[in-house]
Amino acid sequence: MSFDNGLRLSRRGFLAGACCVAAAPILTPVSFAAMPGDNRFVTIILRGAMDGLDFVQPYGDPAYAALRPKLGLRPDTGLIDLDGFFGLNPAASALMPLWQAGELSFVHAVSTPYRDQRSHFDGQDMLETGGNGKGERTGWLNRTLAVIPRSNARKAIDINTSMELILSGPNEADSWSSQSNFALAQDEIAFLDRLYAGDPAFAKAMEEAKKTDMSADSLYGDAKRGAGIADMAKLAGGMLREDYRIASFSINGWDTHVGQQEQFKKAVGDLSTAIVALKDSLGEDAWRKTAVLTMTEFGRTARENGTNGTDHGTGGLAVLAGGAIPGGKVLGKWPGLSEDKLLDRRDLMPTGDVREVAAAMLYRQFGIEPDNLTAKVFPGLSFDTSSVYLKG
């Protein structure tokens, strides 16, 4: 706790009205030179807008319970307390050993510069291009490859059937998928239901397909989906254990407009499965040198909606994992949830740029010059060695 100089969000800090600048180092300050080209970096994109307020619940915030009468939990109703102010959704309990080992952190109230429109497609483009506008068509992780000083750390792979935007661009990167064409995510199934709602014959076929279809296992089954997600993460771990140093993959299923409890539980379960499988397949030594950044295009509304879900918001949550991060903390500058503190009186106010979190991790893992990070990887971002994410 010695370096936790008021940076860690806590109920005490919050209530005392501390300025709440999150400045704990998000990576173990290891000597870069000691590990030539040995560090790993993984990005996991959560597509569909993950509800950070459900994942890491600010149960200590006085406004929280009223905003989330159905979705909100407290330690006495199952929430896993993290620090007296925030608690972890019990669906992520598989991640608690990592938290206890100091290999898991969260950054709350972060976002990309994307504002107002709340479109998944544009939001994900922004998250993956890391730019300020729509014009950019290369991914920031691809641009990163060109500025990593050690050429042997430039080998990157996208675990997908084809390259996703985040790793697309002029620099060489590979894509490789696991065998499983795994099952649909819950939000994707919900969207198909909506798609067929106007066509009774299709709606009926879809209903029956989900229930009785011979291929139901592979397309709609939870167990099969979990196995597919684990395979994907294992493959990433296997690649990183060999000569790859950067890997990226996506997990869908976060667009929880309706019946969030059930859907979110499954999505959080998928992410937990992925992180644990990644750790297992990396092995102890490689895991120690690995930093995982899990991020989403934007958060969701602070208030739950009328259908037991949440709608598209702004401020969200990043999940950091790995042996290379000093974990066990909820970072970020907590804006508060009272009506006047919300963005447009609806969304968690973003107080940090998720790109700065990424920049800090890249700086620490690969020794990339801050100038390169702000000019080439994240044009327009302000970032230097005084970043709050590097202090401590």
Taking the complex as a whole, how short is the minimal distance between the CB of residue 215 and another protein, in angstroms?
A: 5
- Residue of 150, 224, 156 whose CA lies nearest to 184: 224
Taking the complex as a whole, how short is the minimal distance between the CB of residue 305 and another protein, in angstroms?
A: 14
Number of amino acids touching another protein (CB under 8 A):
46
**Touching another protein, residues 47-86 (CB under 8 A):** 47-49
Contact between 163 and another protein (CB under 8 A)? yes
Q: In the complex with another protein, which residue's Cβ is closer, 103 or 255?
A: 255
Q: Which residue has the tokens 């992180």?
A: 275
Q: In the complex with another protein, which residue's Cβ is closer, 35 or 163?
A: 163
Distance between CA atoms of residues 361 and 341, nearest Å: 29
Residue 56 phi, psi dihedral angles, 5° rounding? -120, 100
Q: How far apart are the first and last CA of the chain?
A: 11
Q: Quick one: which of 18, 96, 146, 219 contacts another protein (CB under 8 A)?
A: 219
Q: Quick one: which of 57, 89, 112, 124 contacts another protein (CB under 8 A)?
A: 124
Contact between 194 and another protein (CB under 8 A)? yes
Burial class (CB in 10 A: 0-12, 13-18, 19+), 223: exposed
The mark string for 239-278 relative to another protein (x by CB under 8 A, - otherwise) is -----------x-xxxx-----------------------
Burial class (CB in 10 A: 0-12, 13-18, 19+), 340: exposed
Q: At what angle do helices 186-196 and 200-212 cross, to 10 degrees?
A: 150
Query: Is 186 within 8 Å of 253 (Cβ atoms)?
Result: yes
Q: Quick one: which of 215, 307, 338, 382 contacts another protein (CB under 8 A)?
A: 215
* Contact footprint for another protein (CB under 8 A): 47-49, 119-121, 124, 160-165, 168, 179, 181, 184-185, 187-188, 191-192, 194-196, 198-199, 201-202, 205-206, 208-209, 212-216, 218-220, 250, 252-255
